Homo-oligomer: A and B are copies of this chain.
């Protein structure tokens, strides 16, 4: 295949920033914030995960050199501010977009970590961080329960996608194939989980023995 891969990846990268930003801006709309609140939530959700990844890896933060993703998030915020009611109505498309973005950045984060010389554990962690930290900050600032407090298949999908991608790269598969397989796994898992209402089993506290601990 002879697709021009770099511009394709850049375009996909923007799609995932925009999809994350849209979920951030929709939180701002539920809180009935002003336009700058929309921008904050969109930008933090859109680039928060990748920023955390780059800081931990010790790499230059990706949007400092080329702020296109930030500008895309700001535009998403502005569009959402004027069209949030339409987007709420089409929330299922946002969920698809968000699943697409999550699956994409899970493998992008993993590949970036491997390129930076990280081992497999760190690479998977970076995929998970890129996909989830933006949303966690969004929900913490918006006083909503974040993905780590819900039992949706979201963190799990990004982790399995990142793991598949890392395992394939380390076992000598081509990067494109590894990325595509990891992306496909994460995306499919998330979409099927949304469709079927899957969730992970919760820890249920057992009734303890009598005489529960009374502190120290």
Seen from chain A, the residues whose Cβ lies within 8 Å of a Cβ on chain B are 28-38, 40-41, 43, 51, 55-58, 60-61, 63-64, 67, 70-71, 81, 84-85, 88-92, 95, 118-119, 121-122, 125, 136, 140-143, 146, 148-149, 151, 155-156, 159, 194-195, 199-206, 208-209, 212-213, 215-216
Contact = CB atoms under 8 A, between A and B. Distances in A.
Contacts of A30: 205
Nearest to A32: B202
Contacts of A29: 203, 205
Contact of A151 (B37, B41, B141, B149): B37
A57 B143 CA distance: 28
A122 B37 contact: no
B40 A148 contact: yes
A34 B201 CA distance: 6
A104 to B, nearest CB: 19
B35 A200 contact: yes
A151 B34 contact: yes
What are the 5 closest A-B residue pairs judged by CB atoms, nearest first?
A: A34-B200, A67-B121, A40-B148, A85-B206, A194-B216
A156 B37 CA distance: 10
Contacts of A61: 56-58
Contacts of A90: 213
Given A28-B203, A32-B203, A36-B200, 12 more contacts: A32-B205, A33-B149, A33-B203, A34-B151, A34-B199, A34-B200, A34-B201, A36-B155, A37-B151, A67-B121, A84-B203, A88-B205
A35 to B, nearest CB: 6
14 contacts: A28-B203, A35-B200, A35-B203, A37-B149, A43-B125, A56-B64, A67-B122, A85-B208, A88-B205, A89-B213, A90-B213, A92-B213, A95-B216, A141-B146
A64 to B, nearest CB: 5
Contacts of A56: 51, 55, 61, 64
